[in-house]
Amino acid sequence: MEALQVVSGYILFIILGQFLKLIGRLPRESAGAVSTLVLYVTLPCAIVKVLNGTPFDPNMVLCLAAGFLISWVLIGAAWLICRRDPRRAKFAMLNLPGWNIGTFAMPYTASFVTPEGFLAICFFDMGNALMCTGGTYAFVCSESGAPLREKLISIVRRLLSSGPICTYLIVFVLMLTHSQLPPAIIRIIDIGASANGFLAMIMIGMSVNLAINPEHLRLFGKLLFWRYVINLATAVLLYYLLPFEEPTRMAVALVLLAPIPAMGIVFTMKAKLDWEASANINTLSIIISVVLMSTLITLAF
């Protein structure tokens, strides 16, 4: 019952973010400022708060590998679905793989998962980030002629400019040295961490775009159907195969239901494809993920 109440509160704040955008109280441009606060202030605070003092488990590297390898499975599925149309295939390969973990899955699940489960999500996000911050684009648009070294530097720059990724690195150094931040600092960090869920849900509500072109619905339906079929099947597989306690395995299964990352829109635009269609499929995936993740949280927690 408590999980259902928390999930209901999250959904309410998502609806509130959309409502405030529709009536003009939160202009569309302000979404950038809110996302900056989440990515560089409140989410790093939440990561440090949850993981401070959590012991490092070498098996967590399996979660990193899962995030990386499953992205390739989704890239392959996208190509198979749209292989007869090169432009659609490129669009699908840029928008089917990856998960919005930093600004969706983490704040949405932080109240329910254990510290070990949260750590597993962080490692999964590292593997995911290698692809969704530039790896997928570098592969899909490799014919652009940019040198491999230049592509790799671009990916590394994107990774190191990510607030969550830099925070992971700091936390992992603390773990490996068996260190932790003192309670006085954690109490200060807790102020920012407490605002993360609220700001993230408002931001998600603001990012939802309800103006969807009906002409794209058939393609979206096919792509999203296979995305969630593959992710659900993989979630079940990892739940039974990963060598962790049940709550940690459930956290990994839960994060596989997260929506498409917003970076897909950026790279679709960069590839000179239909970025508005990318925004539309992103919106639909957010709605589906809210339903699926809320259902799983309510049943499992």
> Please, what are the averages of pLDDT over each run of 10 residues along the chain (301 residues)?
75 90 85 84 90 88 95 95 92 94 85 90 90 82 65 75 85 89 94 90 81 84 96 96 95 94 82 85 90 90 77
**Count of CB atoms situated within 10 Å of the CB of 300:** 14
CA distance 62 to 68: 10
Q: Which two tokens stand for residue 40?
A: 């560089």
Residue 2 has a pLDDT of: 66
Residue 121 has a pLDDT of: 94
Give the position of tokens 């700001």.
199
DSSP 26: S
Q: How many helices (H) and strands (E) does the chain have?
A: 15, 0
CA distance 224 to 260: 10
Set out the domains of the chain in order of their start, with CATH numbers: 2-296 (1.20.1530)
Residue 269 has a pLDDT of: 83
Asked if 284 contacts 212 with a C-beta cutoff of 8 angstroms, the reply is yes
Asked if 200 contacts 41 with a C-beta cutoff of 8 angstroms, the reply is no
CA distance 145 to 22: 42
Strands (E), the chain: none
CA distance 67 to 71: 6
Q: What's the pTM? A: 0.84
Q: Which two tokens stand for residue 198?
A: 């609220």
Q: Which two tokens stand for residue 94?
A: 């840029």
Residue 146 has a pLDDT of: 61
Asked if 75 contacts 161 with a C-beta cutoff of 8 angstroms, the reply is no
CB burial string 82-102: b at 16+ within 10 A, e below: beeeeebbbbbbbbbbbbbbb
Residue 215 has a pLDDT of: 79
Q: Which two tokens stand for residue 140?
A: 């899909």
